[in-house]
Amino acid sequence: MTSSLKIFFEPTGVAIIGASDNPDKLSNGILKNLLEYGYQGGVYPVNPKSKEILGKTCYPDISAVPDPLDLAVIILPAQAIPGVLEACGKRGVKSATVISGGFKEIGVEGKALEGQILEIIHKYGMRMIGPNCVGSFNLINGMNTTFIKGKPATGGIGFISQSGAVCGGIVDHVLDNGIGFSHFLSLGNEADVTETDMMEYLAEDDDTSVIAIYAEGIQDGQRFMQTARKVTRRKPVLVLKAGRSDEGARAVSSHTGSLAGSHTAYQAAFQQSGVIEVKNSTDLLNVAMALDWMPLPKGNRAAIVTNAGGPAALASDNLAENGIQLAHFSQTTQDKLREKLNPAAQVANPVDMLGGATEDEYGYALDCVLADENVDMALGVLVPQALVDSVKVAQAMLDAARKSGKPVLVCIMGSVSVRAAQQLLHTNHQPMVDYPELSGVVFSALKQYADYLKSQPEEDMALEIEKDQAKAQNILSGSDLKNWGEHVTRPLLEAYGVSLIQGKLACDFQEALDAAKALGYPVVMKVASQDVLHKSDYGAIAVNIRNEGELENAYNRILENVHEQDATARIDGVLLEKMAAKGQEVIIGMKRDPSFGPLMMFGMGGIFVELFKDVAFGVAPLTQADAQAMLEQTKAVKLLSGWRGGLQYDQDAIIANLLRLSQLAVDFPQIHEIEINPLLVLPKGQGALALDCRMILD
């Protein structure tokens, strides 16, 4: 599949269908870009109304275009696109970029038209970028099918964008700041070629060292993750995901669903597949630049060298917020700094050389701190002064960075007066930012990627677990329920090896008496109803029942409470369970995400799960490492590990049950939500018991 994309960026001939001699038309801009940026292949404008455009022979239709011809770039009204693609297919054109809009982005009619053109390209074995995009730009060979003005510096960043406007804005932003790119790839509606396809292509491209993606949605989340796991072992992948707020999250019945916001699955998927997520365009560019040009750090200890205390304080805060510590200099380093710096300079970290610090002092101070074994990275901060040459300071910091082999980020505050310094640094592949608060996310991303490369790659599939899939299939196919309460969910969990508290269903009071005697007092009683998912909200649960009298009172009270809350609630009886021993309550669950599939959850359990919101998520199928990482992302893990000398609880049992639930969700796509709350975790080595559970089917 990736080889079929190469033709988009290295074609031997390109037809611009709908080309215009009007300089105000977008198609004229595309033709002009193909001619102006160094592309050496054939360029063929197609328009029956013109004989020549921009000095190029114009052809009446695609059938008249001579060979060689690999790519058609189409910019015509949407209704004309199916016929043109049909003609391209008959002509033998194997790739098309459809710039035109008017497809699924406008509604039902446009979606149907997009489906029609997709059928045509499949019919002829073609690949298509778009529709509703701005084209692509290969900066290495000048193959530019966009109408975007200007050419940024050439470098190692391959930029993929679902939004043409973001693509154009990034191009304009970086035109004069020296950040280098290999490709700009606009995808539009992604009817055929997706961000995953492009990521695969750039992974194989020798000119691309960093892949940066602006995404609004990912269609096939599982394929994206599988591909990203492979690509990120070779090259860093950054994603700026739009739509991170929870405004779009649907209201759902389970705790798992209500706590899984619209962006939760993306965060989990990115983390599991080694993708670095950034929150804004500035960070996307700065981090991509740093990963392209800087070495990776061995640790997370940073030094700051500055001529002003305020910016150093801002940088220190930002580093800490992003998990980067200020290094503790050795006494030898501090003594060396005192030898040549201003006597009033601060030689602990941050090193404040005061406002008049020269380029020699910057170079010397950076050499000293970078030589310290306690320092993994350094930030050089300059606030321009009238008597200080910012270009000379930039050169000094550049020289120090080259000698050390450690990542060095330069921060020169300002704009107009520091452009020459920025040009010097970026020309020599030394990253620079203009605000100290931008430094933390850069160093954090470098450290995150370094840690990821050190970690052991795991198999994509979850660990094999003991399960009775046939039994589970029979249970699911034997019922037409949508909402499954605990009494009907328990057998399904049991088929996948989940340990359950002993329990029996009773359809009347006499059966409840018999069940309590068989289980042995004390017991717990719960209503068994598909209409009551949150039993505590209904007053439909009673605990620590010690004798027959208490059992009768509880039975009558639970039924009355349910009928008061919902007179139409369907009641199958009551569920009697053995009163559990003491342990730590946690929750594990799954909600099916439309892009990524089963989204697993772990967190503090019981009635406080939504109050504390101490939860972590992962996309199934989980590996053991994925499940372990979910535990470590929560504060609950401290309680489970023996907080302040307390008991240590069986974390292995939590992981095992997460994997069982993960596999159940993978095996049965009709399960929309399922959760165990609480899962009672017993002391270390004693396992865990599911005390309550429920499920929702599609």
pLDDT value for 271: 95
Q: What is the DSSP string of 139-178?
A: TTTTEE-S------EEEEEEEEES-HHHHHHHHHHHTTT-
Q: What is the CATH number of the domain that holds 521?
A: 3.30.1490.20
Helix or strand (DSSP H, E) at 655: helix 651-667
Q: Are residues 112 and 17 in the same domain?
A: yes
Q: What is the DSSP string of 434-468?
A: SSGGGHHHHHHHHHHHHHHHHSPP--SSPPP----
Cα within 13 Å of Cα(117), Cβ side: 35
Q: Share the mean pLDDT of the chain.
A: 92
Average pLDDT of the residues in 222-228: 96
* 160-174, 289-303, 324-338, 406-420: least confidently modelled range: 160-174
Locate 371 and state its tokens. Answer: 């030589």
Q: Over 70: is that where the pLDDT of 240 sits? A: yes
Residue 216 lies inside a defined structural domain of this protein: no
Residue 307: band (very low, low, confident or very high) from pLDDT cuts 50, 70, 90: very high
Q: What is the CATH number of the domain that holds 588?
A: 3.30.470.20
Residue 597's region, left for phi above 0, alpha for psi from -120 to 50, else beta, is left
Q: Are residues 176 and 90 in the same domain?
A: yes
d(CA 223, CA 235): 18
Q: b or e along 267-297 (b: 16 or more beta carbons within 10 Å of the residue's beta carbon)?
A: bbbbbbbbbbbbeeebbbbbbbbbbbbbebb
Q: Are residues 435 and 329 in the same domain?
A: yes
Residue 165: band (very low, low, confident or very high) from pLDDT cuts 50, 70, 90: confident
Condensed to tens digits (0 to 9), the pLDDT of residues 380-408 reads: 999 998 889 999 999 999 999 999 999 99
Taking Cα atoms as reference points, which of 255, 264, 257, 261 lies closest to residue 608? Answer: 255
Q: Are strands 523-528 and 671-681 parallel, antiparallel or unpaired?
A: unpaired
Percentage of the chain with pLDDT > 90?
A: 84
| 208, 231, 259 - which closes a domain | 208
Taking Cα atoms as reference points, which of 388, 391, 390, 399 lies closest to residue 365? Answer: 399
Condensed to tens digits (0 to 9), the pLDDT of residues 99-138 reads: 999 999 999 999 999 999 999 999 999 999 999 999 999 9
Identify whether the C-beta of residue 368 lies closer than 8 Å to the C-beta of residue 388: no
Residue 631 lies inside a defined structural domain of this protein: yes
pLDDT value for 461: 45
Q: What is the DSSP string of 213-266?
A: EEES--S-HHHHHHHHHHHTTTS-EEEEES--SGGGPPP-SSHHHHH--TTHHH
> Reduced to 3 states, what is the DSSP secondary structure of residue 427?
helix
Condensed to tens digits (0 to 9), the pLDDT of residues 50-70 reads: 999 999 999 999 999 999 999
Q: Are residues 571 and 529 in the same domain?
A: yes
The total domain count for the chain is 4
Query: Could you tell me the pTM of the whole model?
Result: 0.92
Q: Are residues 303 and 377 in the same domain?
A: yes
pLDDT value for 688: 97
Condensed to tens digits (0 to 9), the pLDDT of residues 437-474 reads: 999 999 999 999 999 999 987 654 445 788 999 999 99
Q: Are residues 372 and 423 in the same domain?
A: yes
Q: What is the CATH number of the domain that holds 446?
A: 3.40.50.261
Q: What is the DSSP letter of 59?
A: B
Q: Are residues 562 and 647 in the same domain?
A: no
| 533, 549, 578 - which closes a domain | 578
Q: How far is CA 223 from the centre of its chain?
A: 13
Please give the sequence-ordered ranges of beta strands (E in DSSP) within 557-642, or none if there are none: 573-578, 584-593, 597-604, 615-619
Residue 476 lies inside a defined structural domain of this protein: no
> What percentage of the chain's residues is helix, strand, coil (to nearest 5)?
40, 20, 35
Q: Is the dihedral of CA 593, 595, 598, 600 positive or negative?
A: negative
pLDDT value for 244: 75
Q: Over 80: is that where the pLDDT of 606 sits? A: no
pLDDT value for 248: 40
Residue 350 lies inside a defined structural domain of this protein: yes
**Domain carrying residue 688:** 584-697
Q: Are residues 540 and 595 in the same domain?
A: no
Helix or strand (DSSP H, E) at 673: strand 671-681
Identify whether the C-beta of residue 394 lies closer than 8 Å to the C-beta of residue 355: no
Is the model more confident about 256 or about 179? 179
| 190, 208, 226 - which closes a domain | 208
Q: Are residues 314 and 411 in the same domain?
A: yes
pLDDT value for 645: 83
Residue 367: band (very low, low, confident or very high) from pLDDT cuts 50, 70, 90: very high
pLDDT value for 417: 80
User: First CA to last CA across the chain, in angstroms?
Assistant: 33
Q: Are residues 169 and 27 in the same domain?
A: yes
Q: Are residues 438 and 518 in the same domain?
A: no
Residue 598 lies inside a defined structural domain of this protein: yes
pLDDT value for 311: 96
Residue 135 lies inside a defined structural domain of this protein: yes
pLDDT value for 246: 60
Condensed to tens digits (0 to 9), the pLDDT of residues 190-221 reads: 999 999 999 999 999 999 999 999 998 898 99
Locate 607 and state its tokens. Answer: 């009635």
Q: Count of H helices and E strands in the chain?
A: 25, 31
Is the model more confident about 252 or about 90? 90
pLDDT value for 481: 87
Q: Are residues 89 and 64 in the same domain?
A: yes
Residue 373 lies inside a defined structural domain of this protein: yes
Residue 677 lies inside a defined structural domain of this protein: yes
